[in-house]
Amino acid sequence: MRKEFTKSDLEFGMVVELRNKSKMFVINCKGKIRLIGDDSFIDGDDVRYDLTIYVQSECEEDKGSMDIIRVFEPSSSITELRDLIDHHGKLLWERVEEITMEELLQMAEKRKGCKVKLKG
């Protein structure tokens, strides 16, 4: 599995998984990449070099929810879009993010809705 992966590494036929768990198929549209899914698409101009996705939203939780977290090699079965996405090839890259203990606690508190203490 590759340690680094950028927008320029994306190729036609690859499948990407977004942070929100949806998967999309990479196509080439007029010389630019485009990600297409069952009922939506992401224009290549919204995909940044580091595979984060620009989301125009005032809601802070929406930002980052569409970032690419995994990239899979192209599928060998080409019958229909759903098959291409569901039966992708092996994992080529996976995003690994480092967070501090403080950030981890904040995430836990947000999820639980109350203060969180670590056991010693």
- Select from 106, 103, 72 the least CA-distant residue to 88: 72
Q: Report pLDDT for 57.
A: 63
Look at residue 81 in the predicted model and tell me its pLDDT: 63
Q: What is the pLDDT of residue 27?
A: 94
Q: Give CA–CA dist 109/51, Å, rounded.
A: 28
- Beta-carbon neighbour count of residue 11 at 10 Å? 13
Separation between Cα atoms, residue 113 and residue 99, nearest integer Å: 20
Predicted pLDDT of residue 78:
61
User: Is the four-CA dihedral 9, 12, 16, 22 of positive or negative sign?
Assistant: positive
Would you give per-residue pLDDT tens digits along the chain (120 residues)?
888 999 999 999 999 999 989 999 999 988 899 999 988 899 999 999 999 998 876 666 666 778 999 999 987 766 666 677 777 889 999 999 888 988 888 888 888 899 888 887
Q: What is the pLDDT of residue 110?
A: 86
